[in-house]
Structure 1
Amino acid sequence: MGFGDKTNWIWSPSWGKEDEEIPGLLYFRKEIELGDLPVEGTLNISADTRYKLYVNGTLVAVGPCKGDRQVWYFDTVDIAPYLKKGKNIIAVSVLRYPVNPAMGNHSLFRTFTPGLYVQGWVSGQNISKAETAGTGTEQAITADETWKCRKNYNVQFCHEEEGFSPLMFHEKAAGDSAFAGWKTTEYDDSDWENARFYVIFEMPPAVSPNNLFERPIPDLYRKKRTFKGVMDIKKSVFTADQWTAFLHGKQTLTIPANTEEMVEIDAGEEMTGYIYSAFEGGTDSKIQFLYAEAYQQDGFAGPAHVPEKRDREDKVNGHLDGYKDVYQVAGYGTEKQSECFETYWFRTFRFVQIKIQTGVEPLILKRFDYEETGYPLEVKTQVEVSDDSMKDIWEISERTLRRCMQETYTDCPYYEQLQYIMDSRTQILYTYAVSADDRLARQCMDDMRHSQRADGLLNCCYPNCNPNVIPGFSIYYILMVYDHMMYFGDKKLVKSHIPYIENVLNYFRENLTDQGYVGQVGTVIGNRFWSFIDWAEEWNPTSGMPPAGLKGPITMESLLYIYGLQHAAKLLDFIGRKEDAAAYIQQAEAVQNSIRKYCTGANGMIQDGPGIEEYSQHCQVFAVLTDTVEPEIGRRNLQKTVEENGFTQCTVAMRFYLFRALEKTGLYQYSERYWDTWKNMLKLHCTTSIESDSYARSECHAWGALALYELPIIILGVRPAEPGYKSILISPKPGYMTYAKGSVVTPVGKVEVSWKKEEDKLQINYKIPEGVTVKIEDMM
């Protein structure tokens, strides 16, 4: 291979320096002619930064999935179902973000070489590639100068907020008749330029984007959906019934010239989808789409000064606010060929406010709907418990998890769409519990190790073009690998992650104080490292960090270090490195002794910082989970934080770990009072789990999908007894429940369990997959 050899990457020959300063859209077209034979066709495709592939006007694929500077993905797409005899058009829209991280989506890496990668073939159906090679019945589809390309200068991708703006995919767009029908066979592209191909010297295969890997996860699904109906009409010449009929595709709406419309519509639930609208006429009409998760109040809450929310459906006392798209209608739409606005990236919404100002001619609204999208999660676990309210809590939990599963796990679909380690650890466990699907989890763990810094810590969220470190979050990565070991028992996977786990733990060991606990490795947000623990209300002024961190180290980071050592020891033992496992246990015990000596108050409770008389539920929880305190002391301390005031409480983010400590200390009956958080969400008409008890910036945070784990794994009691589910443990924790029944999907098959509380015993019935051993524990 020589430096001058062609690659399968192309781009615009007229792309200049000014084009690299702002996000831009570049369109590509390729014409292929097919004979009488039935056809089959495969296309490998990628782009820097994103692509949307159309065949004969139909959207076929969106990608590639998120990579980084070392790993770039391509998709293999079956295009045969979209091809036809005669002329065919393959059209690709490429969104190119500048290299400057501030000028694009933070979770999408880009390189210094923008490009579209295409490599594929089309041939007769039932005829092998070997037989048809060179016979004229097979056509190669490659990235070369026969592709036509043209930039669309009429679409601007905008910062969604003045400050922290990690998405940058909302659009200010204007219609242009020059692009009408550009994805179809009838379009004339004679005035488009021919693409230029890259040679190996320009596109080296050792680094991104030409360092290509097959897509590791399934394609995201796309499902056509319509809006439920009208929520409120602010100003309109039409009735609510007319708007609803339009939204359901039963009629068009003709808005007179020089008329303003404002209507608020309801999707019925928190949703992620590509917005699609179509028009006829209406030259110079301006349409604004505002996407909101809830109706909000005039007041503000929390350190980020986020809007106050009460009843999410209260249109009388509340109002909608949110991120916007704006479209300027060109007016070229006709009865046969509409003018269309289609969002390039999916939007997150429950309510959409449509504001229209027509110009000198009427505007005919022909369509407004969307394509729902997300990871193809298949929920197979079903559980019924005595608390009937858990049905609705399960429903919003499942929806929350779905909305936070896209090409990666995400913290929230509306504000950031970043894959945070702490969030993802519990999301992965919830995914295992309801589907036994580990594909997105495997990618998540790979993403995290790819983010490792020279000091051993991981970026707290990744893929991310920007550095962002929360030291304690690196420990949750270790827990991810441990969880996968218990569910799937994959030694090869564990071995691949062990070097990265060792680097994480080395960082904490190197930052131990002379007293033996972890020193001050972070502080409030905005500094080098952020020592976030939880969004507890008392910690809002210190951005989720215990205030003890303003004076020195926080105990939680030492407890997390201990927790990481203990789980890493189990991983090392699993792969046969028993001496190294024992060394980690010894290290953990040394830090435990330091915590007992320097971080225990006169009341016997674990302090938030060494010698600081501040106490939280969090430290008592992790002291229990790490066995840093004696069982009876841990039980007493934890119970005190539940029954008495004055202790910072675990919020939605940390409720999973609180429940683990309640379970371990025999206090699981107290879980009943903590489900009130979710019951209150239902009262306020939330359709997904909120981010925080103290203020709900995000309406959809999947660390709150806790019911998906508690019901099948804890209350029904189905879990792995040893790595890889080689045996099953059935160990129900009834808590306040009186009965439970259901079926739980596991990597070794479906497990059916039912139990009923009778006086001081549980009557348990179960059915397990053939050939699997089981261990039963009656936890009454």
Structure 2
Amino acid sequence: MMNHTDEKLFAARPVWAWHPARAEHEAGYTLFRKTVSCTDEAHYHLAVSADNRFNFYLDGKLLGRGPLRGDLDHCFYDEYEGELTAGDHIFAAEVVVWSEAWRWSAAPWAEMHAGGGFMVAGYAGPERMELPGDWLTFADPGRRPIPWKDAWKGGARIPAPPMDEVDFSKYRADWCTVPVPEGEWISPFVLGNAEFRDAYQTDPDTPWNLMKRTLKQMKETFSPVAEILEGPESLSIRAGRLTGSCPAGRHTVLLDLGRNQTFMVRFSGSGGRGACRLAYSETLFDEQGHKVHRYPGTLGQKGYADRLRFAGDAWRYESFWYRTGRYLELDFDLTGPLTDVELELSFITYPLGPFREFRAPEDPVLEEIYRVACHTLECCSHEHFEDCPYYEQLQYAGDSRIEALVSYAVSGKDELGRHALKSIAASQLSTGLTQSRYPSVFKQVIPEYSLIWALMLHDHYHCFKDETLVRELLPHVETMLNAFERARLPGGLIGPLPGWHYTDWVSGWPSGCSDRGEDVPETILNLFYAEACIRSAELETLVGNSAFAEVLRTRAERTLSAVNRQCYDSEKKRYLDSPGRPDWLSLHANTLAVLFGAVPEPERAGFLREICADPELKPMSLYFSFYLLSAIEKYGTPEELRAHYAPWEEMLKNGSTTFPEKPGLCRSECHAWSCAPAWFLLRTEMKDHQPKTR
């Protein structure tokens, strides 16, 4: 069935099972447990998966979180292996279903599922561990996911996972360590045989095509609370944890975590009838409702929160998925006092580190930019790259190219970059274009991002020389480039393709589109296409496809020639965003004309200097500044490159601890497309010019 070094792992055919009284898309937490008795020391080796997600425990200790995000054709299982002492041991899983994923529901967009299910294969000592066996299951009545709009004025269209509501009169935190009441836990219902991606059946029982996890588990490290900004004197911070008691009545406790971050919550105590809202925010707000990064300020009236209801006994809450923010507000409404309160947080991220050290003793602000850029990357790196951790948690190709390059430079590791390349390849549609983001329940196509994905493959090869990955993905790239070629107009430009023609968040560009919402050719898209052809031609030559490499180079030359004929305004001496529109001018199109070779090489340095000082050109956001910094690095001076770090320097002065979606008023305060300076700082300040990209 499976090629595996441990033949015993899949010696028996595993099945998927579920709680017999739970509907497949019913939102809620479903618990599973099995007791294993060992007369002597014993070895265990298990494969575990679930739909939607699971936390897996041994004797109350967390073994791992899973499965790795994927889709039904890439349904990952985790492996757990270790030793058991003589005696009884409890294997247990907490499985969440975040409801059916339609746009206005509580389901996260990056989770692609078919409905509730749980799968275990393997052994523990002499016992096989496949379901149903003597596994027991329980539909937890004390904990449920709640939509953002119900959590705390969070709005309805939020792609991130929902919050929790816990009623401690019905919830037992020790369910995975103590004996359970007879009759409450029942045998699970078998859904069907497990199917494996490398061994398809002609008529499969279940929709999940299993494959082994391809990334490490996320890393959790203790994260101390920095300061109590508001709250009763009975609470204090000890060893980085909030501890103490809280009297009956209404109380608000406002905590500063020291920096914006992604974290898991562990909150426990005794007594206290009443309720508590745990609200999370990336910033505070002043009296006018403007964001501020320093106290004084309030949490405002929008964001997300968990809701807890106390029953007078001992209680413990742990978040199932990570939360994001710098500020945490506990809003208590108690009819009885709380005692033995302890709040502990752990920073959670993909294990990218350790990071390379960067030193600039003569310009220490660059060291701070580098540090915050690396932290921003960490906060947007979990089971895949993310655009932002607070709102969307989606892996976009445009963002991921920058995140991948920065991760290659600062850590020398490529796991997440490789994962992004393969994920986006798996999203390819029958049109040939890839989806803009993946995994995602909702299909979205940004044609420009398909081309950027091709550039990502070129980036990866020049960083890691992995010809095997090139051979695997290059056919997908060829199909995608052919889709663009089919859109070529008689005059030589690539015309509009179906999808969202997003380039950058620019004032005056509806929905971030340089075509201003009109069905016209875009200079920027054509320049990206030419560059994708040039870079892909290099990879075609590498794998021996010299004939198609020449085809791609010819396509690129034809496209650049058409751009120079139709998109360059000889009077303004600038490239227009679209032919015949002299009022459509942007730094974007003109920068790419330099970087991607439309401007003759002897003129590039001077032309770049001119456009950087031209007030008529639409400016870039932090995201697209990556391409401007690339052009300056190649054709400008170190002094000019340093001057263009000014927006990041200003954000630090304003108190940012992660870099946002864009400077000033914006939605997301942590957006990894803004971490690009770390890439350039290592390459220029430390004279590290490998790998080369443009």
Q: 2:43 aligns with which of 23, 40, 44?
A: 40
1:431 aligns with 2:407: yes
CA–CA distance in 1 between the matches of 2:691 and 2:441?
40
Please name the residue that 2:310 is paired with. Answer: 329
Paired AA for residue 565 in structure 2: K
Flag structure 2 segments of 5+ consecutive residues without an equivalent: 2-11, 149-153
Paired AA for residue 394 in structure 2: L
Please name the residue that 2:221 is paired with. Answer: 223
Please name the residue that 1:165 is paired with. Answer: 158
CA–CA distance in 2 between the matches of 1:472 and 1:250?
47
CA–CA distance in 1 between the matches of 2:254 and 2:242?
19
Question: How far apart are 1:201 and its partner, in Å?
Answer: 9.2
CA–CA distance in 1 between the matches of 2:603 and 2:182?
77
CA–CA distance in 1 between the matches of 2:66 and 2:15?
17
1:391 aligns with 2:367: yes
Matches within 5 A, 1:400-419: 400-419=376-395
Question: How far apart are 1:89 and its partner, in Å?
Answer: 1.2
CA–CA distance in 1 between the matches of 2:675 and 2:370?
8
Matches within 5 A, 1:344-743: 344-359=320-335, 361-385=336-360, 386-521=362-497, 529-539=499-509, 542-546=510-514, 548-550=516-518, 552-601=520-569, 602-613=571-582, 614-693=584-663, 695-720=665-690
Question: How far apart are 1:6 and its partner, in Å?
Answer: 5.8
1:116 aligns with 2:118: yes
CA–CA distance in 2 between the matches of 1:443 and 1:227?
33
TM-aligned CA distance change 1:157 to 1:178, over 3 Å: closer
TM-aligned CA distance change 1:248 to 1:488, over 3 Å: closer
Q: Provide the secondary structure at the position in 2 that maps to 1:589.
A: helix
TM-aligned CA distance change 1:209 to 1:366, over 3 Å: farther
Question: How far apart are 1:536 and its partner, in Å?
Answer: 2.6
Q: Provide the secondary structure at the position in 1 that maps to 2:261.
A: strand
- More displaced stretch, 668-677 vs 404-413: 668-677
CA–CA distance in 2 between the matches of 1:722 and 1:563?
14
Paired AA for residue 510 in structure 1: R
Question: How far apart are 1:152 and its partner, in Å?
Answer: 1.6
Q: Provide the secondary structure at the position in 2 that maps to 1:653.
A: coil
Question: How far apart are 1:567 and its partner, in Å?
Answer: 0.9
Question: How far apart are 1:546 and its partner, in Å?
Answer: 2.1
Q: Provide the secondary structure at the position in 2 that maps to 1:275.
A: strand
Q: 1:281 aligns with which of 271, 278, 303?
A: 271
Q: Provide the secondary structure at the position in 1 that maps to 2:568.
A: coil
TM-aligned CA distance change 1:372 to 1:388, over 3 Å: closer
CA–CA distance in 2 between the matches of 1:201 and 1:475?
37
Please name the residue that 1:185 is paired with. Answer: 178
CA–CA distance in 1 between the matches of 2:687 and 2:385?
26
CA–CA distance in 1 between the matches of 2:390 and 2:242?
30
CA–CA distance in 2 between the matches of 1:266 and 1:705?
23
CA–CA distance in 2 between the matches of 1:626 and 1:89?
59
Count of aligned positions: 669
User: CA RMSD of the aligned region, Å?
Assistant: 2.4
Question: How far apart are 1:320 and its partner, in Å?
Answer: 7.0
Q: Provide the secondary structure at the position in 1 that maps to 2:214.
A: coil
CA–CA distance in 2 between the matches of 1:671 and 1:706?
12
TM-score scaled by length of structure 1: 0.82
- Percent identity, please: 25
Q: Provide the secondary structure at the position in 2 that maps to 1:428.
A: helix
Q: Provide the secondary structure at the position in 2 that maps to 1:719.
A: coil
C-alpha contact 1:548 1:609 (8 A) present in aligned 2? no
Paired AA for residue 26 in structure 1: T
Q: Provide the secondary structure at the position in 2 that maps to 1:472.
A: helix
Q: 2:20 aligns with which of 13, 30, 46?
A: 13
CA–CA distance in 1 between the matches of 2:535 and 2:521?
23
Please name the residue that 2:294 is paired with. Answer: 313
Question: How far apart are 1:203 and its partner, in Å?
Answer: 9.9
Q: Provide the secondary structure at the position in 1 that maps to 2:689.
A: strand
- More displaced stretch, 38-47 vs 378-387: 378-387
C-alpha contact 2:13 2:194 (8 A) present in aligned 1? no
- More displaced stretch, 265-274 vs 416-425: 265-274
Q: 1:143 aligns with which of 114, 131, 138?
A: 131
Q: 2:69 aligns with which of 50, 54, 66?
A: 66
TM-aligned CA distance change 1:510 to 1:390, over 3 Å: same
C-alpha contact 1:177 1:332 (8 A) present in aligned 2? no
C-alpha contact 1:520 1:549 (8 A) present in aligned 2? no
C-alpha contact 2:60 2:177 (8 A) present in aligned 1? yes
CA–CA distance in 2 between the matches of 1:570 and 1:516?
23
CA–CA distance in 1 between the matches of 2:663 and 2:610?
21
CA–CA distance in 1 between the matches of 2:287 and 2:556?
49
C-alpha contact 1:548 1:612 (8 A) present in aligned 2? no
Flag structure 1 segments of 5+ consecutive residues without an equivalent: 124-137, 300-306, 334-338, 523-528, 724-780
Flag the structure with larger Rg. 1
C-alpha contact 2:284 2:297 (8 A) present in aligned 1? no
Please name the residue that 2:28 is paired with. Answer: 24
Paired AA for residue 118 in structure 1: V
CA–CA distance in 2 between the matches of 1:33 and 1:710?
57
C-alpha contact 2:255 2:327 (8 A) present in aligned 1? yes
Q: 2:143 aligns with which of 150, 155, 167?
A: 155
